[in-house]
Structure 1
Amino acid sequence: MPLTINNLNHQIHDGHLQRWLLTRISLEIAPGECVALTGDSGSGKTTLLNLIAALEPLQQGEIYVSGQPLHRATDKERSRLRKQTLAIIFQHYNLLSCLNVLDNIGFSARLAGRYDESHSLSLAKHLGIDHLLEHYPDTLSGGEMQRVAIARALSARPKLLLADEPTGNLDNRNSDQVVKLLLSLAKSHHSALLMVTHSSAIAEKMDKVYQLKDGCLSRRLLGEQNG
């Protein structure tokens, strides 16, 4: 199973107090399954992604990524997991300014030892950035940088893909193309996809939709309004 979460609890500082941001979170995502995570701003969606990616320390509960227990993993094992098994599409791109678009796309795949230039070029073409391969991030628009970041995450064919509002800086046309590509590649490579989104239209395209509210995770039926 690419992702299993058991009874996850997480506290944060809120002013001078501590409060539970996440309580008793449990979730499983199967290979090739695409899941949307919805909820109001500040509900803990990004924090949950960071915990799954081992970017924040786990306080209580269990997280398994491709069978590896993050709650018992060493720093070296967590680092290797981020290189080999999962990929993250960040809200703020995190592109490397010293690399051109093609090298940014291939960066994660090179770290994982799975670089395939033809795959990188195919991703660039599907995302409409193949004319920008020799350009550098500081010459790109926000939407172009977002598409480079998406291509980079997909280049290593991860077992688990975490996406934090991956279409937030894209117009409707490009947003539809990106979501279609993410879903297609997740299915064809048997990768699990967990996508944070505020868009009901995007959430409806997923296999399952979950909502974070008041620290708790609940499944929404497709077609049900977010509330």
Structure 2
Amino acid sequence: MPLTINNLNHRIHDGHTERWLLTRVSLNITPGECVALTGDSGSGKTTLLNLIAGLEPVQQGEIYVGGQGLQHAKDKTLSLLRKQTLAMIFQHYNLLSSLNVMDNISFSARLAGRYDEEHSLSLAKNLGIDHLLDHYPDTLSGGEMQRVAIARALGPRPKLLLADEPTGNLDNSNSDKVIAQLLSLAKSHHSALLMVTHSSSVAEKMDKIYRLKDGLLSQQSGGG
């Protein structure tokens, strides 16, 4: 199972008080399954992604990524997990400006010791950026940069993809194209996808839709 969460509770400091941001959150995502995570600003969506990525410590409950429990994992284990098991796609792309498109695409795969030139070129072709391999990020449009970021994330063949509003900076046309490509590639590579989105049209393209409200996670009707 790429992702299993059992009875996760997370408390934060809010001003001078403490409150539970997440309460009894449980979730399972299977290989190739694409899941939308919705909710109002401040509901805990990004915090949940950070917990799954091992960027914040688990306070109560259990998170397993690719079978690895995070609740007692050391920093070295979490770092290795982020290199080899999961990948993150950010709203602001986080491309390396000093590297061209091909080197950006291959960066994560090289870091994980899984670089495969044929695989990287195939991703670039499928995402329609194979004509940009010698270009640098500052010459690309927002849609092109997002497609490079997706190719980079898929390069190491991760078991789990985490995406935080990956189309938030794109217009509707580019957003639709990027989402369609991301879903197709996640399915074909059997990568589970958990995507934070405020867009109902994006959420409805996923297999399942979950909503965070008042600390509780519930499955919504709809989804592909």
TM-score by length of structure 2 reads: 0.93
Aligned twin of 1:185: 185
Pairing 1:141-156 to 2, within 5 Å after superposition: 141-156=141-156
Match of residue 171 from structure 1: 171
C-alpha distance in structure 2 between counterparts of 1:189 and 1:150, whole Å: 13
Q: For structure 1, which segment, 10-19 or 210-219, has the greater mean C-alpha deviation from structure 2 after superposition?
A: 10-19
* CA drift at 1:139: 3.0
Indicate the RMSD between aligned Cα atoms, in angstroms.
1.5
Give, as a single letter, the amino acid of the residue that structure 2 aligns with 1:70.
Answer: L
**Partner Cα separation in structure 2 for residue 139 and residue 180 of structure 1:** 24
Conserved 8 A contact 2:102-2:134: yes
Match of 2:70 in 1: 70
Classify 1:189/1:143 alpha carbon distance in 2 versus 1 (closer, same or farther; 3 Å): closer
Aligned-partner residue type, residue 37 of structure 2: L
4+ runs of 1 displaced by more than 6 Å?
none
Q: 1:157 to 1:107 in 2, by over 3 A?
A: same
Structure 1 CA distance for aligned equivalents of residues 168 and 127 of structure 2: 15
Contact 2:83–2:111 (8 Å) recurs in 1: yes
Secondary structure (helix, strand or coil) at the match of 1:195 reads: strand
Distance between the aligned counterparts of 1:170 and 1:127, measured in 2? 16
Per the TM alignment, residue 45 of structure 1 is displaced from its structure 2 partner at its CA by 0.7
Q: Residue in 1 aligned with 2:200?
A: 200
**Structure 2 residue 105 is matched with structure 1 residue 137:** no
Contact kept in structure 2, 1:127 and 1:177, CA below 8 Å:
no
Alpha-carbon separation, structure 2, partners of 1:18 and 1:44: 14
Paired letter, 2:142: G
Letter in 2 for 1:180: A
Q: Are 1:13 and 2:17 an aligned pair?
A: no
* Residue of structure 1 in register with 2:103 after alignment: 103
Q: Deviations over 1:174-223 (max 9, x none)?
A: 22222222222222222111111111111111111100011110000117
How many corresponding residue pairs?
223
Report SS of the residue matched to 1:175. helix
> 2:215 aligns to what?
215
Cα distance, 1:126 vs structure 2: 2.8
2:86 maps to 86
Percent of residue pairs identical:
83
Is contact 2:143-2:178 (8 Å) kept?
no
C-alpha distance in 1 between matches for 2:103 and 2:194: 25
Q: Deviations over 1:86-128 (max 9, x none)?
A: 0000122221222111101111111122212222222223323
- Tell me the SS of whatever aligns to 2:71: helix
2:54 is aligned with 1:54: yes
Report the 3-state secondary structure (helix = DSSP H, G, I; strand = E; otherwise coil) of the residue aligned with 1:62: strand
List runs of 5+ in structure 2 lacking aligned partners: none
**Are the equivalent residues in 2 in contact too, given 1:100–1:137 (CA < 8 A)?**
yes
1:85–1:160 CA contact under 8 A, matched in 2: yes
Segment of structure 1 superposing worse, 15-24 or 100-109: 15-24
Question: Which amino acid counterpart does residue 52 of structure 2 have in structure 1?
Answer: I
Question: What SS is found at the alignment partner of 2:119?
Answer: helix
